[in-house]
Amino acid sequence: MQSVQFEAPGTVEQAVALLAGATGDARVLAGGTDLLVQLRSHLVDPALVVDIKHIEETRTLVRNADGSYTIGSAVAGAEAHENAQFVADWPGVMEAWDLIGSTQIQGRASLGGNLCNASPAADSVPAMIVAGMTANIAGPGGRRSVPVGEVPVAPGRTSLANGEFVVSFTLPARPAGGGDAYLRLIPRTEMDIAVVGCGVALVLDGGGTVTSARVSLGAVAPTVLLVEDAARAIIGTTLDDDALAALDAACQAACSPINDKRGTIVYRTQVAGVLARRAARIAAERAGSR
């Protein structure tokens, strides 16, 4: 293992300059719950580690005047959980965030790190996608914003260019009649990697009909999926049995998982449909309660 240069810049511009000027592999340290494990296991060998936790933008979670949220990429899950308004507005996002590791890990685990680790089984990503979150990225060419689903492009790989990093996220205001939910299946009772994860966000009208929906699946493809056919299956319905059956079938059809020690292709595919049904019901119940 080569010697590692460690830097803790205080501004976005300083972080970008460090990342862009690195002569070897450069890694961003947000929460560190993935990166530190990878370093100790010699899975990565960077020349530079840039700790972004000293940058104010990465450490702030605020509710904006329009009801949207700006969430710093290094905000910890435990911090977010203390924000009662955020938890009430987007319980599905929070419950996905809560599943990143143990209580101790929650003191560090961030949405930025979970997204940019680019694991197909990342718990927060399906919930972020269905909530319509965007990633706010800074780099040598300036700033840009993209849907979070466009950041991971393959297991362990992102679309971020040299010198770029995720500064924050924008989470839209929760719509009237809106609800979201995230569920996963794991082999053990806690602290395990998802066999399948499913996020659902939807909006109900006054009569209980779904007027819009988004459905996302994790751990069933090389990247987290936004399943548009699954959303179309329930829009215009009251989530009756036929609609839920169509949702189940659309989710199963979208799956292209692998066999591994946590689950077979057949098992993962079937579980995806089951979780989608359950998450849709929970999201609708939350939407109706508002």
DSSP 83: -
Nearest to 148 by CA among 202, 111, 175, 182: 111
Nearest to 193 by CA among 258, 141, 241, 135: 258
Superfamily, domain 178-288: CO dehydrogenase flavoprotein, C-terminal domain (3.30.390.50)
> Strands 225-226, 210-218: parallel, antiparallel or unpaired by DSSP?
antiparallel
User: What is residue 288's predicted lDDT score, i.e. its pLDDT?
Assistant: 86
Token digits for 287?
Answer: 């939407």
Classify domain 5-171 at the CATH topology level: 3.30.465
- CA angle (65 as vertex; 84, 57 as ends), nearest 5: 75
User: What is residue 1's predicted lDDT score, i.e. its pLDDT?
Assistant: 53
> Strands 157-158, 210-218: parallel, antiparallel or unpaired by DSSP?
unpaired
Domain with CATH 3.30.390.50 in the chain: 178-288
Instruction: Determine the Cα–Cα distance for residues 268 and 1; give it in Å rounded to an integer.
Output: 38
Domain with CATH 3.30.465.10 in the chain: 5-171
Segments of the chain with pLDDT less than 70: 1-2, 189-191, 290
Q: Is 144 helix (H, G, I), strand (E, B) or coil?
A: strand
User: What is residue 24's predicted lDDT score, i.e. its pLDDT?
Assistant: 86
Q: Is 140 helix (H, G, I), strand (E, B) or coil?
A: coil
User: What is residue 34's predicted lDDT score, i.e. its pLDDT?
Assistant: 86
Give backbone dihedrals phi and psi of 259, rounded to 5 degrees, phi first. Answer: -85, 130
* DSSP code string of 38-60: HHHTTS---SEEEE-TTSGGGG-
Instruction: Determine the Cα–Cα distance for residues 121 and 152; give it in Å rounded to an integer.
Output: 12
The model carries a pTM of 0.94
Secondary structure E strands in 152-260: 152-154, 157-158, 165-171, 178-185, 196-204, 210-218, 225-226
Given its phi and psi angles, is residue 177 left (phi above 0), alpha (psi -120 to 50 degrees) or beta? left
Q: Which amino acid is at 236?
A: G
